[in-house]
Amino acid sequence: MAIISGPALAQDTEMAEPPVESAEPADTATATTLAPDQQSTYDAWAPAQQAQYDAWPSETQTYFWSLTPERQELFWRISDADKSTLATLPPEQQTQAWAQIEAQAAGMPAPTADPAADPTQPADPTADPMADPTTADPATPDEPETDEPM
């Protein structure tokens, strides 16, 4: 009986494995593995943002969905290389990295969703296009205006 049951058992095992050619392409697998709320969020993104997300390694995509909405927003601001690195760090190092990311973000104004959509925003939010560094600031009357070099 051992000779007959051996091949029969092996045959049952082979039938239980899915055929390789039935696997979905990587780009559609991402969309089908999202929870319904994640899928609706993904569908609301601009095509460029979807393409950026689709280019991330699966572990980075999974990490993204584990973040709070506030951290997800910050996650979009860092480079893709930093995203991948952050996703692979041990939890204690992720905590340290997020402390730095959040501290940096606290000192910066939030970007608009599309800078081109808001023409009042300069490309560099810290730059004042009207400021001329060669002129004295009229708001500082304590300094006398002179033509003498400093």
Q: What is the pLDDT of residue 129?
A: 43
| pLDDT at residue 38 is higher than 70 | yes
Has residue 136 been placed in a domain? no
Residue 109 pLDDT greater than 90, yes or no: no
Domain count, the chain: 1
pLDDT of residue 33: 84
Alpha-helical runs (H) found in the chain: 2-16, 26-32, 36-44, 47-55, 58-66, 69-77, 80-88, 91-106
pTM of the model: 0.52
- The mean pLDDT of 3-13, rounded to a whole number, is 48
- Confirm whether 81 is domain-assigned: yes
- pLDDT reading at 132 higher than 60: no
- The packing angle between helices 91-106 and 69-77, to 10°, is 80
- Report the candidate in 99, 97, 122 with the shortest Cα–Cα distance to residue 111: 122
Residue 61 is part of which domain span? 45-107
Domain presence at residue 59: yes
pLDDT at position 10 is 47
